[in-house]
Amino acid sequence: MGDHRIVRKEIINIREIEIPCYSVNTVVVGSGIAALNSAICLYENGIKDIAVVTDHWGGGTSNNAGSDKQTYYKMSLSGDVPDSPERMAQDLYQGSCMHGDVALCEAVNSVRCFFSLVNMGVPFPYDKYGTYVGYKTDNDPLGRATSAGPLTSHLMFKCMAGEVKKRGIKIFNQHQVIALLDKDKNSGKQVIGALAFNKEQLDSDSKGLVVFNAVNVILGTGGPAGMYKSSVHPQSQKGSTGLAFEIGAEGQNLTESQFGLAAKKFRWNLSGTYQQVIPRYLSTDKKGEDEREFLNDLFPSTRHLVNAIFLKGYEWPFDARKVQNHGSSLIDILVFIETSQKGRRVFLDYTRNITGDKKSRNFDFSLLDRKAYIYLKKSQALFGTPVQRLEQMNEPAYQVFKDHGIDLQKEPLEIAVCAQHNNGGLKGNMWWESNVKHLFPVGEVCGTHGVRRPGGSSLNSCQVGGLRAAQFISKNYSFDPPKIDDFYPKIEEKVSNIIHFIERILSKSESKGFSMSRVLEKIRMRMSLYGGIIREKDIISEEKAKAWKLYHQIKKEMAVDSPGELPKAFKCLDTCLTHAVYLEALNEYLRKGGQSRGSYIVKNPQGEKPCKELDDKWRYVCDEKDSFTHSKILELSVNKKFKVKKKWVSIRPIPKNDFWFERVWKEFRDNKLVE
């Protein structure tokens, strides 16, 4: 290994088609902050022959998502409340179904990764003494959160993109990876490269196919955002989890996603200040008529309602524990009923304060609980309309929408309960390596989080995962990729089969085939209706069977009109496979008696109603700490015949360490830490 190594290009011939083949140590798939940090850390650890392969540079969630003040979670660096890596690890671990060694890694490395971002130029705020101040976010007991504003992850992407380009790391833009190349070993599966479309050469004889011969693949393509109709992920992000499922990679905690209220026209999370200024919630028919403040019907008084809306800012993700007694998450259920079941539209109106009804009076600040009143008073926002309060408390949050053609001073904001983050995903160990050797899922595609996570911990996980993968690769997998003559026989059959599939679906272009747009619409409706915040055992079982039937049908009958549609066809297959595997997980969880937890409720006639105003079909029970599903993590994988293997594994505890300096120092000198 050394600086002399470069990305090497050769030509291989498969089925009489000439295909460029690039040989590197590591292929980094994706261009979000998890992927880019992996590339930077690899470079800093001495790995120079890296290929960043992305279908759309900057198209992922990190460059295009945010909230009122997007949170970055790390160990506390301010105030007089004591904190430590072990205490932070314990708080991550207590979120349920998170392995303790991974929690410890995310905690221990959080400060290192945070200051790496500071040194890159991310403008996290500090006071005149240099203190990086913090605040409390959801599921956070100590005020570990910080923020660079509504565009925190965009700023992270911008700084990292500059660092990647400054180092001269090779970027393959407009390259969509359509398959991971693997081989069987005595110890199991091992990834050895990737196959991609160069989307700028789809009309060529090779249909733009490109092969990467690699020792390692870091997968940083984000969560499976393309599965949901109601989603706050940017439309450019679809996810590529199916690539890993196809080669036997195990998923974990696939039942656990995070859902929350978000804007539809311009996709944006509506947490924090967007709720704390207490906007009106309006419902209309499909034409935008028959306007009414529908929450008045289900809340016993305006006092209950305004305080629930305020708490929605702190407690933004839907949480099954925060529904009862007219809690903040009841709002999510009521919005879901209006939009997904009644077919109406829901808006947030920032131009006027809440209007009461016959049973309750109009909004005024005396209705606020002490906590909410003090918060608004300290923010100098005890006046005016919601939009005036928003401009006072967080002007950048108002400006984000204005910059995208939505003026909250003049128009209401259409919203829905949207998929926001996938807490589960692919399985990775404490070095972020999959059960498929040399495959490292990082960022949202990796299921490090459990049931509940502190807000902003996903950004920390992106950074820590990239760092840990790079450390392991540099110490264990830093060797050269195989020569082409050795690589070619291992990938010829798989690439040949894919070329044959491409030729087949192109030759059927005049037949009816499957409409990919309709297939994707069907998948997204299914997941938003049945795999979102509301889940039912019998329905999930039926939808799982339909999902597998759809996947096998489109593999057999798919047709495309032109080579330009090939990337969409492969993405459709990936999404369809992914949603079938996720439904397998949901079905298994419910079959084992799993109940409501995290960001969803499971209907149960033996449970309690969210509120007396809803009918009996909304009864549910929260998952108990002593239940089987609470103490285990569900892992799933599929084999080549698409048979699903399920196993429930014990949650690994937080490791105990005596931290004796001389012992650690010797292990460090002897290079025994990374093994």
Report the alpha-carbon distance of residue 657 to residue 675 in Å, rounded: 17
Residues 383 and 268 in one domain: yes
Q: Does residue 251 fall inside a structural domain?
A: no
Predicted pLDDT of residue 551: 96
Q: Are 12 and 21 in contact (CB under 8 A)?
A: yes
Q: Which residues pair with 27 in a beta bridge?
A: 51, 217
Residues 397 and 266 in one domain: yes
Average pLDDT over residues 117-123: 97
Domain boundary among 602, 624, 646: 624
pLDDT > 90: percent of the chain: 85
**With bands split at pLDDT 50, 70 and 90, how would you rate the model's confidence at 646?**
very high
Residues 263 and 410 in one domain: yes
Q: Does residue 199 fall inside a structural domain?
A: no
- Gyration radius from the chain CA atoms: 25
**With bands split at pLDDT 50, 70 and 90, how would you rate the model's confidence at 186?**
confident
Report the alpha-carbon distance of residue 282 to residue 60 in Å, rounded: 31
Predicted pLDDT of residue 139: 85
C-alpha torsion angle, residues 246, 252, 256, 257 (rounded to 10): -40
- CA nearest to 207, candidates 492, 565, 572: 565
Residues 523-542: pLDDT tens digits?
999 999 999 999 999 999 99
Report the alpha-carbon distance of residue 553 to residue 327 in Å, rounded: 44
Q: Does residue 192 fall inside a structural domain?
A: no
Per-residue pLDDT for 134 more than 70?
yes
Residues 616 and 527 in one domain: yes
Which string of b and e fits 528-537 if b means at least 16 CB within 10 Å?
A: bbbbbbbbbb
Average pLDDT over residues 158-172: 97
Residues 511 and 414 in one domain: no
Residues 386 and 524 in one domain: no
**Local structure of 621: helix, strand or coil:** coil
Predicted pLDDT of residue 512: 64
Predicted pLDDT of residue 5: 65
Q: What is the CATH number of the domain that holds 505?
A: 1.20.58.100
Residues 5-49: pLDDT tens digits?
688 999 999 999 999 999 999 999 999 999 999 999 999 999 999
Give me 422's structure tokens.
């996938």
**With bands split at pLDDT 50, 70 and 90, how would you rate the model's confidence at 357?**
confident
β-bridge pairing 534-535 and 601-608: parallel
**With bands split at pLDDT 50, 70 and 90, how would you rate the model's confidence at 235?**
confident
Q: Of 68-72, 208-212, 496-500, give the lowest mean pLDDT range.
A: 68-72
Residues 403 and 509 in one domain: no
Q: Are 366 and 377 in contact (CB under 8 A)?
A: no
Residues 411 and 266 in one domain: yes
Domain boundary among 581, 607, 624: 624
Report the alpha-carbon distance of residue 174 to residue 466 in Å, rounded: 22
**With bands split at pLDDT 50, 70 and 90, how would you rate the model's confidence at 61?**
confident
Report the alpha-carbon distance of residue 227 to residue 86 in Å, rounded: 36
Average pLDDT over residues 263-291: 95
Predicted pLDDT of residue 185: 79
**Domain count for the chain:** 2
Q: Does residue 449 fall inside a structural domain?
A: no
Predicted pLDDT of residue 487: 97
pLDDT > 70: percent of the chain: 98
**Domain assignment of residue 299, given as a range:** 258-418
Residues 387 and 503 in one domain: no
Residues 414 and 277 in one domain: yes
Q: Are 382 and 365 in contact (CB under 8 A)?
A: yes
Q: Does residue 58 fall inside a structural domain?
A: no
Q: Are 143 and 134 in contact (CB under 8 A)?
A: yes
β-bridge pairing 425-426 and 251-252: antiparallel
Residues 307-330: pLDDT tens digits?
999 999 989 999 999 999 999 999
For residue 604, give every residue at least 6 positions away whose Cβ sits within 8 Å of its Cβ, in sequence order, or none: 595, 596, 619, 620, 621
Q: Are 32 and 156 in contact (CB under 8 A)?
A: no
Average pLDDT over residues 152-159: 96
Predicted pLDDT of residue 1: 39
Residue labelled with tokens 């704390």: 276
Per the prediction, the chain carries an average pLDDT of 94
Q: Quick one: DSSP state of residue 296?
A: G
Predicted pLDDT of residue 359: 74
Residue labelled with tokens 């789809």: 202
Q: pTM for this one?
A: 0.95
Average pLDDT over residues 185-195: 90
Q: Does residue 346 fall inside a structural domain?
A: yes
Long-range contacts at 652-659 (CB < 8 A, ≥ 24 apart): 652/99, 652/100, 652/101, 652/102, 653/100, 654/86, 654/89, 654/90, 654/93, 654/100, 654/101, 654/103, 654/104, 655/100, 655/101, 655/104
β-bridge pairing 439-441 and 209-219: parallel
Tell me the C-alpha to C-alpha distance, in Å, between residue 614 and each of 330, 364, 425.
11, 27, 34
Predicted pLDDT of residue 414: 98
Average pLDDT over residues 619-638: 91
Residues 411 and 505 in one domain: no
Per-residue pLDDT for 4 more than 80?
no
Domain boundary among 385, 418, 451: 418
**With bands split at pLDDT 50, 70 and 90, how would you rate the model's confidence at 3?**
very low
Q: Does residue 155 fall inside a structural domain?
A: no
Per-residue pLDDT for 241 more than 50?
yes
Report the alpha-carbon distance of residue 166 to residue 367 in Å, rounded: 55
DSSP readout, 26-80? EEEE--SHHHHHHHHHHHHTT---EEEE-SSTT-SHHHH---SS-EEE-S--SSS
Q: Does residue 5 fall inside a structural domain?
A: no
Per-residue pLDDT for 466 more than 80?
yes
Per-residue pLDDT for 233 more than 90?
no
Q: What is the CATH number of the domain that holds 350?
A: 3.90.700
Q: Of 68 and 471, which is predicted with more confidence? A: 471
Handedness of CA 176, 179, 183, 186 (dihedral sign): positive
Predicted pLDDT of residue 511: 63
Report the alpha-carbon distance of residue 596 to residue 533 in Å, rounded: 9
Residues 530 and 383 in one domain: no
Per-residue pLDDT for 351 more than 90?
yes
- CA nearest to 535, candidates 600, 579, 622: 600
Report the alpha-carbon distance of residue 657 to residue 660 in Å, rounded: 8
Predicted pLDDT of residue 510: 63
Phi-psi region of 44 (alpha: psi -120 to 50; beta: other; left: phi over 0): alpha
Beta strands in 287-367 (DSSP E): 345-349
